[in-house]
Amino acid sequence: MKIGIIGCGRWGSFHAWYASRIGHEVILYGRAGSKNMQRLETDGANEYLKLPAAVRLTKSLDDVLNFAEIIIISVGAQNLRGVVKEINFKTNNNLSDKVFVLCMKGIERGTGKRLTEVFVEENETAREKIAVWVGPGHVQDFLREIPNCMVMSSSNENLTRQLVEIFKSPLIRFYYGKDLIGTEVGAAAKNVIGIAAGMLDGLNFSSLKGALMARGTAELSRLVEALGGDKMTVYGLSHLGDYEATLFSAHSHNRRFGEEFVQNEKFDKLAEGVETVAALIQLAKSVNVELPISESIYRIIYENCNPKDELTKLFLRSTKEE
């Protein structure tokens, strides 16, 4: 297949590496002025990987749209709407011959919309041609040939199955995600739980991660059900199944952000949970669901509340029913 990748950061470059590795023709797009793209053009590599020589690099979005049958988008979640608008402009809103796979996790701040909703809101014609690819795994581990399981999900079951066949390999085993709402919300929310885990690490409260995992899945299951999804989806790979990679791994950007935040250190990489926590609270309010963990993390990050006080109050408050 002809695969285009939009986004040349950690995951975008990985998807280019992976798609080429399993035999597809690949073009990788990065914006002019992108430091990530400049490094790939100069060195053919970044801090994570060396790209196969067969991967074509471009700073022209037209090149991707003219070449690719399947387009993987791997950019910051809050940038997706702008990317879709740009794609619409380049294609006169005609995306009938393309399939889009969103390899990113988040909820749009300001609207509380899931990423597939954002895409469809900007281009209705793509509704049956969009999938999400989420689940556990770190680029560093995949590059060491450590396999993992991931989820492919869309509102079109036939598309989901086709994409699994196209992208499966001994390195990544896919599961079919049949609940798009639960898959997207769970994948986005686990980054917020990851920040909470990092804060517990930074405060030497790591023993509370068990309580965090139990309560995190419980409150997210209520949100997913209220949104019309399957409450059990959060116990699968898109959320609970991704906890090891997000709540414990040294490679987790969200965990590291949380840890360094409470230690008053600056973290300079993208931690999607920072924006997602605000969007998640907005989404929960729209269906009258309380998210105590997300609300505590929001107060710590955005209202300068004391992390130790907030987390102690959250986990060590008076006796509650489980």
The domain spanning residue 200 has which CATH number?
1.10.1040.10
Average pLDDT, the chain: 95
Residue 251 within a domain? yes
Instruction: Please give the distance of CA 281 from its chain centroid, rounded to a whole number.
Output: 17
Mean pLDDT, residues 203-216? 96
**The pLDDT value given to residue 322:** 52
CA angle 8, 10, 12 (to 5 degrees): 40
Residues 9 and 102 in one domain: yes
What separation in angstroms does the CA of 93 have from each of 4, 90, 97, 116, 124? 18, 8, 11, 16, 9
Measured CA to CA, the distance from residue 77 to residue 129 in angstroms comes to: 19
Residues 49 and 196 in one domain: no
Annotated catalytic residue: which of 98, 190, 209, 231?
Answer: 190
Instruction: Please give the distance of CA 303 from its chain centroid, rounded to a whole number.
Output: 25
How does residue 318 score in pLDDT terms, banded at 50, 70 and 90?
low
Each residue's pLDDT tens digit, 34-82: 999 999 999 999 999 999 999 999 999 999 999 999 999 999 999 999 9
**The pLDDT value given to residue 233:** 97
Q: Provide the domain count of the chain.
A: 2
**The pLDDT value given to residue 299:** 97
Is residue 319 pLDDT above 60, yes or no?
no
Nearest to 177, CA basis, from 237, 119, 258:
237
Could you tell me if residue 237 is left (phi over 0), alpha (psi between -120 and 50 degrees) or otherwise beta? alpha
Mean pLDDT, residues 3-9? 97
How does residue 209 score in pLDDT terms, banded at 50, 70 and 90?
very high
- In 10 A of CB 250, how many CB atoms? 9
Instruction: With beta carbons less than 8 A apart as the criterion, state whether 78 and 106 touch.
Output: yes
The residues facing 217 across adjacent strands are none
- In 10 A of CB 282, how many CB atoms? 16
Is residue 237 pLDDT above 80, yes or no?
yes
Mean pLDDT, residues 215-244? 96
Transcribe 210-235 into DSSP letters: HHHHHHHHHHHHHHHHHTTS-GGGGG
**The pLDDT value given to residue 260:** 97
Alpha helices in 68-179 (DSSP H): 80-91, 115-122, 139-143, 157-167
> What tokens appear for 90 in the block?
């380049």
How does residue 219 score in pLDDT terms, banded at 50, 70 and 90?
very high
Residues 169 and 198 in one domain: no
Residue 320 within a domain? no
The residues facing 5 across adjacent strands are 28, 72
Instruction: With beta carbons less than 8 A apart as the criterion, state whether 112 and 147 touch.
Output: no
Residues 154 and 259 in one domain: no
Is 2 designated active site? no
Residue 101 within a domain? yes
Each residue's pLDDT tens digit, 246-294: 999 999 999 999 999 999 999 988 899 999 999 999 999 999 999 999 9
Is residue 316 pLDDT above 80, yes or no?
no
Structural domain range at position 29: 2-180
Residue 321 within a domain? no
Residues 158 and 204 in one domain: no
Is residue 315 pLDDT above 90, yes or no?
no
**The pLDDT value given to residue 93:** 86
Residues 13 and 34 in one domain: yes
Residue in this structure with the two tokens 């710590």, named with its chain if needed: 300
Each residue's pLDDT tens digit, 150-176: 999 999 999 999 999 999 999 999 999
Domain final residue pick, 180, 198, 226: 180
Measured CA to CA, the distance from residue 100 to residue 13 in angstroms comes to: 17
**The pLDDT value given to residue 36:** 95
Domain final residue pick, 180, 205, 228: 180
Residue 286 within a domain? yes
Residues 6 or more apart whose CB falls under 8 angstroms from that of 3 comprise 19, 24, 25, 26, 27, 68, 69, 70, 71, 72
Residues 81 and 149 in one domain: yes
Residues 176 and 195 in one domain: no
**The pLDDT value given to residue 94:** 86
Residues 147 and 286 in one domain: no
**The pLDDT value given to residue 107:** 96
> What tokens appear for 53 in the block?
């020589």
Indicate the length of the chain as a whole number: 322
Measured CA to CA, the distance from residue 159 to residue 70 in angstroms comes to: 11
Measured CA to CA, the distance from residue 278 to residue 96 in angstroms comes to: 34
Residues 77 and 164 in one domain: yes
Residues 212 and 284 in one domain: yes
Is residue 321 pLDDT above 90, yes or no?
no
Residues 152 and 200 in one domain: no
Mean pLDDT, residues 121-131? 93
Domain final residue pick, 130, 159, 180: 180
Q: What are phi and psi of 56, to 5 degrees?
A: -90, 130
CATH of the domain at 79: 3.40.50.720
